[in-house]
Amino acid sequence: MEAITSTVRGLFKACIFLFFLIVYMITSLSIALTVRDRSKRRRKFSANASRYCGLIARNALSIKLKVINKPAKKHAGSLLVANHMGFVDILMLAGIEPMSFITSNEMRETPILGPVTELAGCFYVERRSRTKILTEMKRLADSLKEGLNIVLYPEATSTNGDKVLPFKKTLMMAAAEAGVPVQPVVINFRKLNGEDFNTENRDAVCWYGDTTFVEYFWKTLRLRTVEAEIEYLDILYPDPNEDRGIVAEKAHAMISAKFVGAKQVTSVAGQLATDLETDPT
């Protein structure tokens, strides 16, 4: 019965999601056709994406999001760095306020997600080429100087929610190059369907491994409720003369200290196997 109910729920939420996605695409395309200045167009793209990400998170995905310590007055132009577990945390973060996200060139070439991210004002980078990534860092620095708020996931991948992976350093130096602060942010999932975020239910919000986007997002849509928190941590002011790894290490330590990983849950079969192995009889 629960399987039928969750399937119906998923289909209903998928309809809501598609409705908002279509409206988002139409409004974004109108911006693309009417705003010629690249910087202004990116600002309008990110503002439009923020509006619809918030609507999707609340109405299509039933996310109850608690935002902690959000600065009352945000610095014009800052590099926000956060841990990353999947598409869901992007929607939550983007829904708080207009932001431009950094993602990979592979995402740009992905069907559906490519146009969606491009119309959100995303920056695309080629992380595998040192020459290109240095050029792209300067481009990011120029955009930060113009007052854009840019989001970087320095783990460079989404994770399974066990821990915060080490941070890549190069792109974080865009903040020092631009003379703007780094704003660390920690994203935590607290409860899924009323149960603690754990190793059995995490696949509904964490997109990792070989799982396709459709498989992952279908699990998300079938959830009844998601309770999550996004906490703004102390701002860092990078010095362009200091070692680039220092800021990355500080931000990683701050986010790791506040991150609550998926609670370990042992299945009944796994527990039985363990009991049999340790049974002295």
DSSP string, 19-33: HHHHHHHHHHHHHHH
Q: What are the boundaries of each domain within the chain?
A: 2-264
- Minimum mean pLDDT range among 1-5, 117-121, 170-174: 1-5
pLDDT, one tens digit per residue, over 53-112 is: 999 999 999 999 999 999 876 667 899 999 999 999 999 999 999 999 999 888 888 888
Distance of alpha carbon 76 from alpha carbon 67, whole angstroms:
20
In this predicted structure, the answer to whether residue 269 has a pLDDT above a threshold of 60 is no
Assign domain 2-264 one CATH number from 3.30.70, 1.20.120, 2.60.40, 3.40.1130. 3.40.1130
Can you give the pTM of this predicted structure? 0.89
For the chain, what is the mean pLDDT? Answer: 90
Instruction: State the average pLDDT over residues 129-148.
Output: 85
pLDDT, one tens digit per residue, over 204-241 is: 999 999 999 999 999 999 999 999 999 999 999 988 77
Among 98, 24, 90, 13, residue whose Cα is nearest residue 59: 13
